[in-house]
Structure 1
Amino acid sequence: MDAQLLRAVQTGDVQSVDELVRTVPGDVLAGDEGSRLLRAAAFAGHADVVSTLLDAGVDPTRAWGEGIDPVSWAADHGASAVLEELLSSDLSPWRKQVPQSMERAALEIARAWLYLDPELELRRRLGALQDESAVVECEQIPVTDWGLHTTRIRLTLADGRQAEVQTAHRAVVTYLEDRLDLPVSRDELLARALFHADPQSCDWSASQAVLWEGPDSDSEETFRWAAGLVGHPSVDTRRFAAQVLHNLSFYKRPFKAQALEVLRPRLRAEEDPVALNSVIGAFAEYTSRGDLTDILPHARHSDPEIRRRVAGELVVAIGEPPQVPYYPDPPLIPFDTPPNVVATLIELTSDVDGRTRANALLTLAGSGIDSPAVRNLMTAHLTDDYRDARLEAAAGLALREDPHGLEVLRQIDTDAGHGTQAGWRVDSVRRILAHRATERRKS
C-alpha cells in the first residue's frame, strides 16, 4: 500500500487523497488494497475521504480482514456520517451498489444498541466488566462541516486494548428505516431526538430530516402534530416542534394561514432562544412578504442569535435579493418597505454583534432601499472591525454602483482568496453587475 496515500487517508487530507488515488489502478482499488484504505478512512472518521474513495471505485461491500463488512461496521460503531456515504450509491450511480440485504442486517445491528449501555457493552466486548482500572473517555466529535456532532466513548484497558463507539445509533436506525421505507411514528422520531436532547446531534437531525422530507401527503398531518407540540411544557419538545414547523415552511405551505395562527402567539410567549429562533424563521417564511411587525421587537433580544435571525428574515419584508446566475432578477428590487422595517434594519447595522451587523447589511445590500442615509451608513461600515460586515457594506455600495464600494470589494476578494465565502459573495456581486450591464446593452 502506498504510504503517502495511506497517510493522507488517515489524516483526512481529501485533496491529496483525490490526487493520489488517481494513480492507483482500478482493479487494485476494487480489491483488498482499496478495502484497507476504506477501513482506515472509516476508523479515522473521515466521511469525506470515504466519499472520495468510493468515487474512485473502492467496493463498500467488500469484507475487511476480520470478516465484517464496512456497512455493518458503521452501523455497529454508530458512525452515521460514514454509513450515509457508504449507502449513497443511489445518488452516485458510478459507485458500487449496496444490496438491501446488507442494509437490513445493518439496521438490526444498530437497533440492538438502542437497548444497551454503551460503556457496559464496550466493557463486555473487552472482557472487562469488573476492571476498575479501565479508563473511559467521552468526547464530543464533529461529524459534518455544518455543525452536527456526536459523542465518542472510548474504553482503554491497562494492557493497552481499546474499544470505542459513537452514540449516534438512533440516527443510524432512523436513516436506515427511511431508506428501507419502514414506517415509524412521529412520536418515536421525537423520542429518539430527545434521548440526547441536542439540536446539533445526529439523532436529532435524522428525525428532523424524515419528518420534513417525507411525502407531501403526510406534510399536513406532520404540521398538525408539530403545531400541537409547539407550546409543550418541555423546552426540548418545543425546540423540536418549532424546528419541524420551520423546515416545513420552506416547501410545504398549504397550511399557511393555520401556521401563522399557531406561530404568532408563540412569538410573544416563547422564552427559550433556540425554540424562538425557529419560530421567527417559520413565521417569516409563512408570512412571505406579509406583515412582519410581530418579529421586530426581537431585534433587541438579549441573545445575539435571535437578533441575527431577525436581521436575516427581514429580507422577506423587502423582497429577495438577486442570486445571479441562479435567479437572474434585476438587483435592487423595488418594494414598498414599511418604515418600521427600514428603521429596524438600520438599528441592527449598529448591533454589538458582528454577525448581526453583517446580516442586516446583507439584507439592505440586495434591497430596493436606497437613499443618501443608507449609502452613508454602508460607507461607514467599510471600516467595520468585522470582515463580513465590511464585505456586505461594500457589496451594497457596489450594487448601487458606488466606485468606492467596488474598490473595497476588490480588495476583500484579493485578501479572501478563491473558494471562500467572501470570494463567493464577491463573485455573486460581479455576476449581478455583469447581468445588469448586459440588460442595459439590450435596451
Structure 2
Amino acid sequence: MDLPLLLAAVERGDDIPVFEFLEDVFLDDVAYGELTGEDGVTLLAAAAYAGRHDVVDRLVGQGVDPTRPWAGGVDPVTWAAETGACWTLTALLSPERDPLRADSPHRRALRVARAALDRGAGAGPVPPPAHRAVITDLEARLGVHRTPDELMARALVHADPEHDDWLASLVRIAAPESQERFDWARDVAEGAADAGSLDRRRFALDVIHFLGFGLNPANGDDEPPFTREAVEFLRPRLDTEQDPYALRTVVAAFTGYCSQEEIPAVLAHADHPDPGVRHCVALTFPGLLTDRPAALAALLRLADDPAPLTRTSALNALTRCPVDTPALRDVLAAHLTDPHFDARLEAAAALALRGDERGTPVLDEIRRGIRNRSSRGAGRLEDLHHQLNAR
C-alpha cells in the first residue's frame, strides 16, 4: 500500500485512487494485510476527517475494523456522532447486525448525538453539523417513532435542502409511502403557499417527490394510491411556481407521477434561467417522446447547455433517443472535445450507438485509462458495450 499517495488523494477529495487500490487489494495478500492493519485504520481515519464517507464505506466493507481507535485514542463511532458526521457514522455502523441490544454502538451514538445537540457542540461551522440527521436515522433504526411535524421541524432548523438534516427527515417521512403521508404533505404545501412560508413549501414538495420513490418495499412495484392526486396537485404548479428550488421539485415530482403523454408539459422550462430547473427537464428524457419536434429541439438545446451536469444528462438521453439526423450528429460531434469528461463520454457513446466512428478516438482514450471497475468511465463503457451488443 502506498499510504502517503492514498492519504494525499483523500485529502484533495480524489476517491478514484483509493477505489482502484481497493479493487486490486484482494489480488495481493500483502496489500490486504496492510489494509486490515494499522495502515488501513490510518486511511479510514483520514477519510472520515476529510468527510469522504464513500471511502469510509468502502474501507469498512473491505475489512478495515471500524471499532479500532484512531490516533490519540479516538473512538470512531463516538467521534462521528459527536461531530454530526451522519454518512460516515452510517458507514462505521454498517457491519453491526443488532442495533437493538442494550450495549449496541447505535444506542451509544444516539446518546452522544443527543448530548452534543443539547450543548450546541459544533455550532457555527458551515455547513452546520448534522446532529439531527444522526438522531433521526438512529431513532428509526431503534424503533423510536416521530411524527411528520416533528421531523419537518428538525429539517427546518437550518432550512437548507442540501443539508443532511433535511434529507434524513424526508426519508423518514416518505418511507411509509401512504395516503396519509401524501395528504399531510399536500396540506402543508397548500398552507405554506397561503402563509408565504417558502421553507415549508419546499419541504412539503420534496416529501411529495420522495413519496413517489417507492421507499417502502412492502408496496412492491405498484404505483402509489395517490398517483393521480399528485399529478392533479402538481400540474398547475408547473405554471405558477416561482421559486427555482421548488420548481425543480415540481418538475421532478410531476414527471415521476404522470403518464408519458403528460410529460411534455415540462418543456416550457427547458430554457429556464435556473440551471437546476433545466437539469430536471433534461432528466425527463428519453421518457419524453422525442419524436415530437418540440421535444427533440429542447433536448438538443439542453445538450449545448452551459451547465456541465445538464448537458451531460441531455447527451446521455441522446444515447437512447431513436432519432438520428445529421443535425443531431453534429451536436454530438461538437461535444467530443467538451472540457467535461462525462459530456465527452456521452457524446462519443451516442455517436457509437449510431454507427458513427467519430466517437471512437474518445472512447479509445478513455478505455486506455481504465485499470479496473473503479476507474473513471469504466462502468459507463461497460454499459455501452452491452448496448452495442443488444443492437
TM-score range relative to shorter protein: 0.7 to 0.9
1:435 maps to what in 2?
A: 390
Q: Is the 8 A contact 1:193 1:204 kept in 2?
A: yes
Inter-CA distance 39–414: structure 2 relative to 1 (3 Å threshold):
closer
Task: Give the distance between the partners of 1:88 and 1:43, measured in 2 at CA.
Answer: 18
2:238 aligned with 1:284: no
More displaced, 308-317 or 381-390?
381-390
Task: Give the distance between the partners of 1:44 and 1:356, measured in 2 at CA.
Answer: 28
2:218 maps to what in 1?
A: none
Task: Give the distance between the partners of 1:428 and 1:65, measured in 2 at CA.
Answer: 42
Alignment of 1:225-304 (within 5 A): 225-231=184-190, 232=192, 233-251=196-214, 253-304=224-275
Match of 1:370, SS? coil
2:153 aligned with 1:191: yes
**Aligned partner of 2:389: which letter?**
A
Which of the numbers 335, 352, 368 marks the counterpart of 2:322? 368
Match of 2:291, SS? coil
Give the % identical residues: 39
Give the TM-score, by structure 1 length: 0.69
CA RMSD of aligned residues (A): 3.8
- The structure in which a higher percent of residues are strand is 1
Q: Is the 8 A contact 1:71 1:106 kept in 2?
A: yes
Task: Give the distance between the partners of 2:132 and 2:158, measured in 1 at CA.
Answer: 10
Inter-CA distance 66–359: structure 2 relative to 1 (3 Å threshold):
closer
1:223 maps to what in 2?
A: 182
Give the TM-score, by structure 2 length: 0.78
2:219 maps to what in 1?
A: none
Inter-CA distance 397–101: structure 2 relative to 1 (3 Å threshold):
same
Q: Is the 8 A contact 1:42 1:50 kept in 2?
A: no
Q: Is the 8 A contact 2:34 2:40 kept in 1?
A: no
**Aligned partner of 1:246: which letter?**
H
2:368 aligned with 1:402: no
Instruction: Show structure 2 runs of 5+ residues with no match.
Output: 11-16, 215-222
Task: Give the distance between the partners of 2:49 and 2:341, measured in 1 at CA.
Answer: 37
**Aligned partner of 2:224: which letter?**
R
2:111 aligned with 1:108: yes
Task: Give the distance between the partners of 2:363 and 2:5, measured in 1 at CA.
Answer: 39
Q: Is the 8 A contact 1:6 1:37 kept in 2?
A: no
- The structure in which a higher percent of residues are helix is 2
Task: Give the distance between the partners of 2:64 and 2:357, measured in 1 at CA.
Answer: 51
Q: Deviations along 1:109-168, whole A, 9 cap, x unmatched? A: 322333333368xxxxxxxxxxxxxxxxx543xxxxxxxxx43xxxxxxxxxxxxxxx22
**Aligned partner of 2:113: which letter?**
A
1:327 maps to what in 2?
A: none
Inter-CA distance 89–100: structure 2 relative to 1 (3 Å threshold):
farther
Inter-CA distance 291–340: structure 2 relative to 1 (3 Å threshold):
farther
More displaced, 289-298 or 73-82?
73-82
Q: Is the 8 A contact 1:51 1:86 kept in 2?
A: no
1:159 maps to what in 2?
A: none
Match of 1:375, SS? helix
Q: Is the 8 A contact 1:9 1:37 kept in 2?
A: yes
Q: Is the 8 A contact 1:78 1:110 kept in 2?
A: yes
State the aligned residue count. Answer: 364
Inter-CA distance 421–339: structure 2 relative to 1 (3 Å threshold):
farther
**Aligned partner of 1:435: which letter?**
A
